[in-house]
Amino acid sequence: MSGFLPNEARRTLIALGERFRLARLARNESQDVLAQRLRISVPTLRAMERGNSSVQIGYWATALWALGRMEEMDAVCAGKRDLFAEAARERSIRDSVRKRACRGRTKHS
């Protein structure tokens, strides 16, 4: 592993690699077979399973795709939900629907 990597990030990558390994084993796939499916080398696959920080993110995206878990890739940098903003948006939509409904009644009454 090269460069500065905070301990928390290192632990997270190691845990990710372990979950990846367990997912492979649960599918009863050898490293050779999975590496061929991902079109990567077995040493790269081993590095992923060890949580090595030098593995390119594109390989992780391909691995998530192969495991049917692409939605997790999208969640990596997804913004946190702002419940107050969502509630305000919903109120605004309801208010505009009510206003249109009221205008429609006065025109046709």
Domain ranges of the chain: 7-75, 80-109
Could you tell me where the DSSP H helices lie in the chain?
A: 7-26, 31-38, 42-50, 57-66, 70-75, 83-108
Q: Tell me what pLDDT residue 88 has.
A: 86
Q: Tell me what pLDDT residue 1 has.
A: 42
Q: Which fold has domain 7-75?
A: 434 Repressor (Amino-terminal Domain) (1.10.260)
Q: Tell me what pLDDT residue 101 has.
A: 78
Q: pTM for this structure?
A: 0.66
Stretches where the chain sits below pLDDT 70 are 1-2, 106-109
Q: Tell me what pLDDT residue 109 has.
A: 55
Crossing angle for the helix pair 31-38 and 57-66, nearest 10 degrees?
110
Asked if 30 contacts 41 with a C-beta cutoff of 8 angstroms, the reply is no
Q: Tell me what pLDDT residue 49 has.
A: 96
